[in-house]
Structure 1
Amino acid sequence: MTLVPARMVKPGDVIAMELEARGWTQKDLAEIMGRPLQAVNEIVNGNKQVTPATAHELAQVFGTTPEVWMNLETNYRLFAARKEAGSDDIKRRSRIYSLAPVKELIKRGWIPNILDLDELEKNVCEFLGIGDISMTPSFGVPVSRRHSEAREPEGMAQIAVLMRARQLAKKHKVGKFSATKFKAAIPELLEFSKDVAGIEKLPAFFANLGAHLVIVPALSHSYMDGAVFYAGANPVILLTLRYDRVDNFWFTLTHEVAHLVANHHGVHIDSNLEKPSDVAAEQTADKLASEWLLESVTYEKFLSSSGHFYSRETVASYADSVKRHPGIVVGRLHHQNKVPYSHLRGMLEKVSPYLQKCIDTSYAV
């Protein structure tokens, strides 16, 4: 612990003692230094700072070094600034802001818009599930998550999104979860991928299977597309709609579903993201999601028959034959560099309009 003195001697106090020891007055000192009496009075009272030039003059008057007076001045001004600024408050606020993206939490309405320091600390600690700000936030349960590999995500932003998802999931009523029934329902799930309107039915579909589908828009620097974890006996599938496109939506959703089907356990994460994702599990989930959405046999036939030319018509025709939204096919072509990212983007419909009732809110199904 750093000890802080209750008061600090200012240069003027030492000057006053030196004058008293010599039997001098402030007027005498003013005449000796060739300074106005008012200037000397202000220095003695601490209303005027000791400059390097003044420090040299005082050193000559009292037989000291200039450093003595400069050190006295610096220490006194630092002490005064510490008292005025409330350094403990600044330190506390800095710690709070390092634990969570406070401004975004307030903007989203995840914590009250109260900036009183005590209330802010209380609200952030409650949101993160920690007792006080000396603790390091941890999500507490294993998580499988899909996020950007090209950017460095911030752990505090990811944990905040996960915490919000868990809060929303607690307000949902879902059925009893059975891993066997969940896996058997994959074909039915994929039937919703034919058009974007089918997305509206997904929250109820998953609730009937005992799983929470939660939509929490990504926070800045979280770079997370989705995640899956358990809240008690029920899985929570989190989607952030970081890319509001039908292709990204369906791949992320099936990727997280694949983690559940493959019984992946995920990893524990904290605000430092010290433990990376399970690479093997992520690769397995990618393969399952890819195969579910577009079976490799029919997809390869489509590629070979197209002669490396992919028009809206050929894409739409193939998508219709496999009962998938054309945007899912376009997304695969983009990902594999079969088609430039600037081409066929009109087929990548947004999905958020079909999820308005459940974006960052609890909902009844």
Structure 2
Amino acid sequence: MNVKIIKSAEDYEAAMARLSALMSLDPKANSKEENELELLALVIQDFERQTVPPVKADPIESILFRMDQMKLSRKDLIPYIGSISKVSEVLSRKRPLSLPMIRRLNQGLGIPADILIEDVETDSTVVDQEPEMDFTRFPLKEMLERGCFGDFEGNAQRLKEYAEDLVRKFMQDLLPKQVSPAFLRAPMHQRGDRQADEMALLAWRMCVLRQARTLNIAKEYKHGTITPTWLRELAKLSTFDEGPKLAREYLARHGITLVIEKHFKRTFLDGAAMLDNDRPIVALTLRHDRFDNFWFALLHELAHVAKHLTPESPVFIDDLDRSNPQEVEAEADAMAQEALIPEKSWRTAKVRQTLLSEDAISFADEISVHPSIVAGRLRHEEKNFRLLSHLIGKTGQVSQILSQ
């Protein structure tokens, strides 16, 4: 008996020929030939396991087989799949199985989850437990419009039916499995007393992360980069017509990603500071698409990066319309205000008494910032939002510059 491990296609062909010859001999029980045949069959089987991919069981065939076993009609599948029309569409392969369907079929009919799941990237363990959230509460229509769900097509009802599949896939493409739960549970420091939609906020954060990952910023961020002097130099870029674009480049040179991502409905968002591993992301919504709001929101979030952002506190969400900020928000406000308009200069500024546009422009030139920043500060302090409106400019200014 000379049975060897199979290492090549030639070895495999020789082993199969020898196996065929031994089988034709019809060896007696416990004979030398029978022992060789059994050992050779094991060696061949081991080689085939390593070289031939296993055949994936067909989920629909598995359902039909279980129906036949249990003498079930199509009507009996309604509790697991939905209406009789959905059952018909699924069994005729016109409608894919959703994760909720798979979960019910697995639990109710005992069909293994790994057979029912066709997406090879989906971990079958998601079927073993109930979802950690109600995926239908995400702003699905808005997410679809932003391209979060690839080439998915369907109405609002179909979006809801496949919400878990779509959102999980979107998250799966962004976050490693071991990071995903941490991302979901990351403590958020949220400014403002308006109740924001939790799922819409989470969707917005994921969209920010998706966009940030597409911006290839090679520079590594160094903690301690953002100082009052650094912020003051950034604020001076506001004097240029393309100041917002220059600001984005300034941040990138220091390893900070600036993302503009429109807010979702019911989020009341102006901006956020976030961590993606060790890289800071400053995200702005441009909800108020004006120079004064852009510069204050930008510096406010950068103050969070400098003073508050840590792996233990990785997300700060800001609605800058709200007053009475908490301590960390007041600290970020103060740092941003000082960088834009130094308090020492502001105390003696003539424009505070005259409220005249020529004095606002003159003071802006003196401290090297855009006149809209001075006008915005005056409007806020005077609680008069008609004041110096011509210096504030038209809505849409910043997004237009950044899109060029």
Report the TM-score, using the length of structure 1 for normalisation. Answer: 0.63
**Contact 1:245/1:351 (<8 A) preserved:** yes
Secondary structure in structure 2 of the residue aligned to 1:333? helix
Match of 2:244, as an amino acid? I
Who is 2:147 aligned against? 109
How far the C-alpha of 1:141 sits from its partner, in A, is 4.4
**Contact 2:263/2:285 (<8 A) preserved:** yes
Who is 2:243 aligned against? 198
Match of 1:239, as an amino acid? L
How far the C-alpha of 1:234 sits from its partner, in A, is 1.3
For 2:242 and 2:135, the matched residues in 1 are separated by 42
Who is 1:259 aligned against? 304
How far the C-alpha of 1:194 sits from its partner, in A, is 1.7
How far the C-alpha of 1:225 sits from its partner, in A, is 0.8
Match of 1:151, as an amino acid? R
How far the C-alpha of 1:119 sits from its partner, in A, is 5.5
Who is 2:283 aligned against? 238
Q: CA RMSD in A?
A: 3.5
Who is 2:403 aligned against? 356
Who is 1:249 aligned against? 294
**Contact 2:351/2:363 (<8 A) preserved:** no
Question: What pairs with 1:54-93 in structure 2 (closer than 5 Å)?
Answer: 83=83
Question: What pairs with 1:206-355 in structure 2 (closer than 5 Å)?
Answer: 206-265=251-310, 267=313, 279-302=326-349, 305-306=350-351, 308-336=353-381, 338=382, 340-349=384-393, 350-355=397-402
Shift of the 306–191 alpha-carbon distance from structure 1 to 2, 3 Å rule, reads: closer
Shift of the 137–192 alpha-carbon distance from structure 1 to 2, 3 Å rule, reads: same
**Contact 2:275/2:309 (<8 A) preserved:** no
Shift of the 128–223 alpha-carbon distance from structure 1 to 2, 3 Å rule, reads: farther
Match of 2:223, as an amino acid? A
| Aligned with 1:159 (options 202, 212, 237) | 202
How far the C-alpha of 1:97 sits from its partner, in A, is 2.5
Shift of the 95–233 alpha-carbon distance from structure 1 to 2, 3 Å rule, reads: closer
How far the C-alpha of 1:247 sits from its partner, in A, is 1.0
Match of 2:335, as an amino acid? L
For 2:367 and 2:373, the matched residues in 1 are separated by 11
Match of 1:283, as an amino acid? A
Question: What pairs with 1:109-188 in structure 2 (closer than 5 Å)?
Answer: 109-112=147-150, 113-115=152-154, 120-129=163-172, 138-139=183-184, 141=186, 149=192, 151-174=194-217, 175-183=219-227, 185-188=230-233
Secondary structure in structure 1 of the residue aligned to 2:270? strand
Secondary structure in structure 1 of the residue aligned to 2:265? coil
Shift of the 144–196 alpha-carbon distance from structure 1 to 2, 3 Å rule, reads: farther
For 1:140 and 1:151, the matched residues in 2 are separated by 21
Who is 1:76 aligned against? none
Secondary structure in structure 1 of the residue aligned to 2:272? strand
Shift of the 144–207 alpha-carbon distance from structure 1 to 2, 3 Å rule, reads: farther
Listed as ranges, the gaps of 5+ residues in structure 2 are 1-71, 74-78, 88-96, 102-132, 316-324
Same amino acid, percent of matched pairs: 26
How far the C-alpha of 1:356 sits from its partner, in A, is 1.1
**Contact 1:144/1:228 (<8 A) preserved:** no
Shift of the 182–240 alpha-carbon distance from structure 1 to 2, 3 Å rule, reads: same
Shift of the 191–332 alpha-carbon distance from structure 1 to 2, 3 Å rule, reads: same
**Contact 1:251/1:290 (<8 A) preserved:** yes
Deviation per CA, 1:57-111: give whole Å up to 9, x if none.
xxxxxxxxxxxxxxxxxxxxxx9xx84587998x98x94321x100111112222
Match of 2:232, as an amino acid? P
**Contact 1:259/1:285 (<8 A) preserved:** yes
How far the C-alpha of 1:172 sits from its partner, in A, is 1.9
For 1:152 and 1:120, the matched residues in 2 are separated by 23
Match of 1:257, as an amino acid? L
Indicate whether 1:96 and 2:135 are aligned: yes
For 1:176 and 1:125, the matched residues in 2 are separated by 30
For 1:239 and 1:306, the matched residues in 2 are separated by 30
Aligned residues, how many?
Answer: 263
How far the C-alpha of 1:306 sits from its partner, in A, is 3.9
Match of 2:366, as an amino acid? S
**Contact 2:136/2:163 (<8 A) preserved:** no
Listed as ranges, the gaps of 5+ residues in structure 1 are 1-5, 8-78, 270-277, 358-365
Secondary structure in structure 2 of the residue aligned to 1:355? helix
How far the C-alpha of 1:255 sits from its partner, in A, is 0.5
For 1:306 and 1:347, the matched residues in 2 are separated by 13
For 2:360 and 2:383, the matched residues in 1 are separated by 11
**Contact 1:213/1:236 (<8 A) preserved:** yes
For 1:95 and 1:306, the matched residues in 2 are separated by 53
How far the C-alpha of 1:327 sits from its partner, in A, is 0.8
Secondary structure in structure 1 of the residue aligned to 2:207? helix
For 2:188 and 2:327, the matched residues in 1 are separated by 14
Shift of the 168–209 alpha-carbon distance from structure 1 to 2, 3 Å rule, reads: same
Shift of the 260–196 alpha-carbon distance from structure 1 to 2, 3 Å rule, reads: same
**Contact 2:257/2:280 (<8 A) preserved:** yes
Match of 1:353, as an amino acid? Q
**Contact 2:273/2:309 (<8 A) preserved:** no
How far the C-alpha of 1:284 sits from its partner, in A, is 0.7
How far the C-alpha of 1:220 sits from its partner, in A, is 1.0
